[in-house]
Amino acid sequence: EVQLVESGGGLVKPGGSLRLSCAASGFIFSSYYMYWVRQAPGKGPEWVSCISTSSSYTYYADSVKGRFTISRDNAKNSLYLQMTGLRAEDTAIYYCARDRRQYQPENWFDLWGQGTLVTVSS
């Protein structure tokens, strides 16, 4: 089955760190650009970060630049998001998502995980 499964969310204090993981299965993970998209409670989705197939290129939203790091391990079919300096406004469900097209990205998402909740609160 083609799927993405996130893990690693939880409750963390402001200023703390967390590492999210996304396990991919059922498709050739190494062929796709991958993304993290988050959604704060009651809000619309917000793109967070993107990584190219070979990790050569990474992109970040200004709101997380310098605090979050996206990475991937193609041998383990896994995507990661290392989050540091967490703030209350980072509270959201974090989804990993796949680009619709192999190798040459289109930058929209045809496959999403179920999401993992990150809560930043003292």
Is residue 36 within 8 Å of residue 98, measured between CB atoms? no
Q: Does 114 bind another protein (CB under 8 A)?
A: yes
What span, in angstroms and rounded, lies between the C-alpha atoms of 36 and 113? Answer: 10
Site string for another protein, 36-75 (x = CB under 8 A): --------xxxx--x--------x-xx-------------
Q: Which residue is it, tokens 């590492």?
A: 19
Shortest Å distance, C-beta 108 to another protein: 4
Torsion of CA 79, 98, 87, 122, to 10 degrees: -70
Shortest Å distance, C-beta 75 to another protein: 26
Among the residue ranges 10-18, 23-31, 73-81, 101-109, the one whose residues contact another protein (CB under 8 A): 101-109
CA atoms within 13 A on the CB side of 122: 3
Q: Interface residues with another protein (CB under 8 A)? A: 44-47, 50, 59, 61-62, 95, 100, 106-110, 112-115
